[in-house]
Amino acid sequence: MAAHVTLTDEQRIDWLRLIRSDNVGPRTFRELINHFGGARAALDALPSLARRGGAAASRIASREDAERELAAARARGVTLVALGEPDYPARLVMIDDAPPLLAVRGEHSILTRHLVAIVGSRNASAAGMKFAARLARDLGNAGYGIVSGLARGIDAAAHRASLETGTIAVLAGGHERIYPAEHVPLVEEIVPNGAAVSEMPLTWEPRAHDFPRRNRIISGLSVGIIIVEAARRSGSLITARLAGEQGREVFAVPGSPLDPRAEGVNGLIKQGATMVTEAKDVIDALAPIVGRGFDLPIEEPERDGPAAAAEPSEDERGRIVALLGPSPCSIDDLVRLSRSSPAIVRMVLLELELAGRIERHGGGLVSLV
């Protein structure tokens, strides 16, 4: 797949089936597409791969389910934008677990603008919300789209202050399960000039672990991320860590050491986050990055034809499985220690993943579940 092509309706249904099948996350999706050259071939291979990985039966999303989801989305005004399509957010492509399909409601043009995330405590102080609003307004006027997580407190203040200049709410659940429910009207205010986006099915009820998962999209969309108030061990700090791992600029707004809501942000500044006391701090720091434009990912997510078949022998599979454990280990190490080819190792990992036996981490690390 070259950059900026558009999927056919058939392809979009295949993509949706593949990402909605058991044990297929964004990283596995990319592996499968890269290996088999397309979603259709990957779907065909799924049952035997999962079986070889040791799964009894793995659910594959049906064509009917996918068609029903697409129709429901269309009825809601939600479009499924695929990785590589023109409307897919350019920076999000660069993270290794980018959602293959992003369900977008609203004004698509905001997705390809330069974006800055503003996040922070749900139980924010009045001063924190006021400052978040000021930053969002000033950065919006400077041309940035404002990304946040639609939570109470800092997130809502950032969205509200950038309704006119454009803001993106990244949802942890589906478009029909807005959380918190009191922010359903806020989404309606966001979509005329901005967007709500989700990688989950329309009716997905967000659970605790969907929030950190969502946070990687918040930072992945953005050039930089600003943490406004955050206690020690808060979700915003997880977002900050993810953002750092993704190579995004991390900014933090300082506060008094006597304010527990400032513990997290002050800690970030000690660890090297850029201190923000006005929008100019952010604009100045991002100017050289934004000026460079986007880097395209080195590896294209799809190839024209299917790859040469890589059929691991029982012996090879056993050797690779034996090397795995609960601690994450690198794929490079597996290749080296198993004396198998990279293609064989990747295939065995795919099988194990589809059987739900391994987990993929960032940086090319895998571990047994």
Nearer to a second copy, 161 or 171 (CB): 161
Indicate whether 369 belongs to the interface with a second copy (CB under 8 A): no
Rounded least distance, CB 256 to a second copy, Å: 5
Neighbours of 109 (CB within 10 A): 13
Number of residues forming the site for a second copy (CB under 8 A): 22
Rounded least distance, CB 266 to a second copy, Å: 5
Indicate whether 286 belongs to the interface with a second copy (CB under 8 A): no
Indicate whether 322 belongs to the interface with a second copy (CB under 8 A): no
Rounded least distance, CB 130 to a second copy, Å: 7
HSE-up of 221 (CA within 13 Å, CB side)?
A: 32
Indicate whether 185 belongs to the interface with a second copy (CB under 8 A): no
Rounded least distance, CB 281 to a second copy, Å: 8
Indicate whether 281 belongs to the interface with a second copy (CB under 8 A): yes
Query: Alpha-carbon distance 279 to 158, whole Å?
Result: 13
Nearer to a second copy, 218 or 253 (CB): 253
Within positions 233 to 272, which residues make up the interface with a second copy, using CB under 8 A? 253-259, 262-263, 266-267, 269-270
Nearer to a second copy, 62 or 277 (CB): 277
| Candidate ranges 128-136, 304-312, 324-332, 350-358; the one touching a second copy (CB under 8 A) | 128-136
Q: Which of 277, 313, 330, 341 binds a second copy (CB under 8 A)?
A: 277
Query: In whole angstroms, how far apart are CA 58 and each of 21, 36, 278?
Result: 8, 19, 52
Nearer to a second copy, 208 or 258 (CB): 258
Q: Which of 237, 276, 282, 334 binds a second copy (CB under 8 A)?
A: 276
Q: State the pairing for strand pair 101-106/195-198.
A: antiparallel
Indicate whether 275 belongs to the interface with a second copy (CB under 8 A): yes
| Candidate ranges 31-39, 98-106, 126-134, 164-172; the one touching a second copy (CB under 8 A) | 126-134
Indicate whether 127 belongs to the interface with a second copy (CB under 8 A): yes
Nearer to a second copy, 44 or 278 (CB): 278
Which positions lie near a second copy, rule CB under 8 A? 127-128, 130-131, 253-259, 262-263, 266-267, 269-270, 275-278, 281
